[in-house]
Amino acid sequence: MRDHMAARGPDGAGAWYGEADRIGLGHRRLAIIDLTDNGHQPMQSADGRCTVTFNGEIYNYRELRRDLEAAGCVFQSQSDTEVLLHLYARQGVAMVRALRGMFAFALFDARERVTLLARDPYGIKPLYYSDDGWTCRFASQVKALLAGRKISHEPDPAGQVGFYLLGSVPEPFTSFRAIRALPAGCTLLIDRTGAGAPERYHAIAAAFERADLDAGGEANEYDKVTACRAALLDSVRAHLVADVPVGAFLSAGIDSGALVGLMRDAGAQRIETVTVGFDEFRGTAQDETGLAGEVAQLYGTRHTTRIVTRAEFEADLPEIVTAMDQPSIDGINTWFVSKAARELGLKVAISGLGGDELFGGYPSFRDIPRWVRAFAIPSQVPLLGAGVRRLGSVMTGRLGINPKAAGLLEYGGTYAGAYLLRRGLFMPWELARVLDPDTIRDGLARLQPLQLIGAALQPDAHDNFARVATLESALYMRNQLLRDTDWASMAHSLEVRAPLVDSVLLAHVAAAAGSARRKGKQVLAAAPSRPLPAAVTGRAKTGFTTPVETWMRAFVTDGDGRLRSTDIPWARDWSRVVGARFPATTHA
């Protein structure tokens, strides 16, 4: 299991066994903080009570260390890992609330004879586990657990249905019945009776609710925006903590550009930035290379533009499929920009991921509240929505209208339903095109998609912006963007840090309420001391895209655009999905 994840930690490997070999912890190391052997893992406390294996970074470890030393703790290393051992010895499971960072760790307490599993508030770092009634196993990858050859490969219909509905497998489900994801912001205790239930210590919805309850009146708007800018700089400064150089992914968008400017303000020297470009995009709005180069020049970075060709994509595709831990409709972009960063010798790179979720950059912030207002009352009429949807499904197909339109009356009246419409890949009534009836029935029964989406909104902040921000962060970003970033970057032994995905920053932005929300991305663009130019802030949003669809269609279509058979397994699967979702008659 450990060595299946060698790419995640090429700098060292360790294993520890205890309790007469009834427990074992393994680790692969990517050395970023304390590069000496003192940072080796699994790491044991001096008294032998606690042993930990840890993936991620604790950005406030120096502050925590100072407090622990003041309380009498003696450290043997300069690593953030050792902070976990001392902090747990003093605070127990509650220690997770003091951590600022991205983390997944397992800590065995020999005195209490329990193992603590913990995952960071946003779920940046993955953690999967399996309990067959005799043995508990856990790892950073689903495929690593399977590599141990002791876990059933029986597929989970909830994972299959979830993927076709949302484009990713929503936690806590995975592609396999025997494997679960520890939910973000949760801890779990394993004792001699097995794995307990996950206990939540952080929820994105709760951060917005607390900000709403703490709002003691409308503060000066200038002060709120200023506080947001200060919080952004603080987050970037925290994410620069490392004993190796920290580079950055740079696109032509506001998020990555502002972060590079803030890196400069935080004192980063000789910043390496990298942009990926494609010949197919030259001369189009999707070509980000020119403007990214201008931003790099503005902030004085050492910039590299890496061109990716279709031939390289085809050559890398087997590796991409192998590295992809669970099914996803995205991640190719992160694969190539991570590959480019590693070619430059980087171990750590800053990403602008999370800006749209935090500052309302998606159309969903406009569309979902509008749909809920329009359909809240009519959607409550029994059977009306389902009847209109059945009739509408026939009409939309004939008229070439987006098939989701048929479900507006049935789903659009609630935030959960409207979100499924906005983000859904297939709608529940379309699943028969790609899955068998038994999988659909069992999968929907286990997944309960509307309840799963609705649960992310608890506790409810009673604010439209907060609701959409919560849904986009807890579902789309967590299950797709963060997960894709993890597998695609770690396949290249690169750690990606996202300063805009930070629980401390979230609390500050949530507290700013209307001031920051009305200005949206303007607050982020103006955060560096040298603000982003109008060419960036006025540019239409395109997203960080690749011509992958064009490349893949070349494999599975003929010269007239008709789907054809192929002997390439991934192309056969993709052809089946494309044929179901985009019939040739729609020219989608």
Instruction: Find, among 353, 577, 366, the residue nearest to 473 by Cα.
Output: 353
Q: What share of the chain is helix, strand, coil (3-state, %, to 5)?
A: 50, 15, 35
Burial of 319 (0-12, 13-18, 19+ CB in 10 A): middle
Which residues fall within 8 angstroms of residue 416, CB to CB, at 6 or more apart? 450, 451, 453, 454, 457
Burial of 21 (0-12, 13-18, 19+ CB in 10 A): exposed
Superfamily designation of domain 205-360+466-543: HUPs (3.40.50.620)
- For CATH 3.40.50.620, list the domain ranges present in the chain: 205-360+466-543
- For CATH 3.60.20.10, list the domain ranges present in the chain: 3-201
pLDDT at 587: 27
Rounded CA separation 282/296 (Å): 19
Q: What type of residue is 485?
A: T
pLDDT at 562: 59
Max CA pair span of the chain: 74
pLDDT at 543: 60
pLDDT at 581: 47
Q: What type of residue is 398?
A: R
Please state which of the four CATH numbers 2.60.15.10, 3.10.20.30, 3.20.20.10, 3.60.20.10 is assigned to the domain occupying 3-201. Answer: 3.60.20.10
Tell me the mean pLDDT per 10 residues along the chain, length 588: 97 96 96 96 97 98 98 96 98 98 98 97 98 96 96 96 95 97 98 96 94 65 84 98 97 95 96 94 87 96 95 90 91 95 98 95 94 86 69 58 74 94 91 94 97 96 92 97 97 98 94 72 94 90 71 64 56 54 35
Instruction: Give the single-character DSSP code of 95.
Output: G
Contact status, residue 172 vs residue 188, Cβ threshold 8 Å: no
pLDDT at 5: 97
